[in-house]
Chain A
Amino acid sequence: DAGVTQSPTHLIKTRGQQVTLRCSPKSGHDTVSWYQQALGQGPQFIFQYYEEEERQRGNFPDRFSGHQFPNYSSELNVNALLLGDSALYLCASSLGWTSYEQYFGPGTRLTVT
């Protein structure tokens, strides 16, 4: 049973560039949430997708956007990258957007120089 997978593992970008991160949920899960974990901090909720719609959003600027595909996989896009966007980006999946069981992927480490 495949768990949550994320790609790429690591990424280095320059300020002002755009980046796309990808997530495939655990088999059978239909909901994907994205979190940002800055160094030394706990994960911060970015947004959640269910039925290809953004259902909840955290306190992140519009530079952060996402998408969910019919196969439930998801993308996180960040435009006009800032140095402060450097972080570990975690994807979590669940069956339904109110489920208590969320499974996390290994994350994508984004470094902005």
Chain B
Amino acid sequence: AQSVAQPEDQVNVAEGNPLTVKCTYSVSGNPYLFWYVQYPNRGLQFLLKYITGDNLVKGSYGFEAEFNKSQTSFHLKKPSALVSDSALYFCAVSGLTGGGNKLTFGTGTQLKVEL
């Protein structure tokens, strides 16, 4: 079975400061990891993914994520937060179990960026 944990329901950060949204995962075999963002009353927008290769993955809107195999973590980061980054962020994992690309999501972290 595959699972994702997002330990923080909400993260508050001041605009211009760096932000980190935490994610840990559990999966059999190689993990395929994703971050999605959701704005109110909208679907999910893809931010970035880790499949293989460099542990630091760069994605959309200046976001990046660091894959750490020993800690089974995939934390989302941004060097300088913007108010417009305020949204709900989901970490997801796919182990391609059963041959398909089923995604298992965490419970989400609400990011609030304040002036």
In the complex, what residue of chain B is closest to A44 when comparing beta carbons?
A: B105
Between A and B, how many residue pairs show CB distances below 8 Å?
A: 73
| CB-defined contacts of B96 to chain A, threshold 8 Å | 98
Tell me how far the C-beta of B39 lies from the nearest C-beta in chain A, rounded to whole angstroms. 10
| CB-defined contacts of A97 to chain B, threshold 8 Å | 99-101
Some 13 contacts from A to B, beta carbons below 8 A apart, are A4-B43, A40-B108, A42-B4, A42-B105, A42-B106, A43-B103, A43-B105, A44-B105, A45-B102, A56-B102, A98-B100, A98-B101, A104-B46
A28-86 contacts to B (CB < 8 Å)? 31, 33, 35, 40-45, 48, 50, 55-56, 58
Q: How many residues of B contact A (CB 8 A)?
A: 27
| CB-defined contacts of A44 to chain B, threshold 8 Å | 105
How extensive is the interface on chain A, given as a class? 20 to 34
| CB-defined contacts of A104 to chain B, threshold 8 Å | 36, 43-46
Determine if A100 and B51 form an interchain contact, defined as CB atoms under 8 angstroms apart.
yes
| CB-defined contacts of A48 to chain B, threshold 8 Å | 100-102
User: Which positions in A face B, CB cutoff 8 Å?
Assistant: 4, 31, 33, 35, 40-45, 48, 50, 55-56, 58, 90, 92, 94, 97-107, 109
Tell me how far the C-beta of B28 lies from the nearest C-beta in chain A, rounded to whole angstroms. 16
Q: Complex: how many Å from CA A56 to CA B96?
A: 11
Q: Looking at the complex, which one of A56, A103, A105, A109 makes contact with B100 (CB distance below 8 Å)?
A: A56
Q: Looking at the complex, which one of B43, B51, B103 makes contact with A45 (CB distance below 8 Å)?
A: B103
Determine if B94 and A90 form an interchain contact, defined as CB atoms under 8 angstroms apart.
no
Determine if A102 and B101 form an interchain contact, defined as CB atoms under 8 angstroms apart.
yes
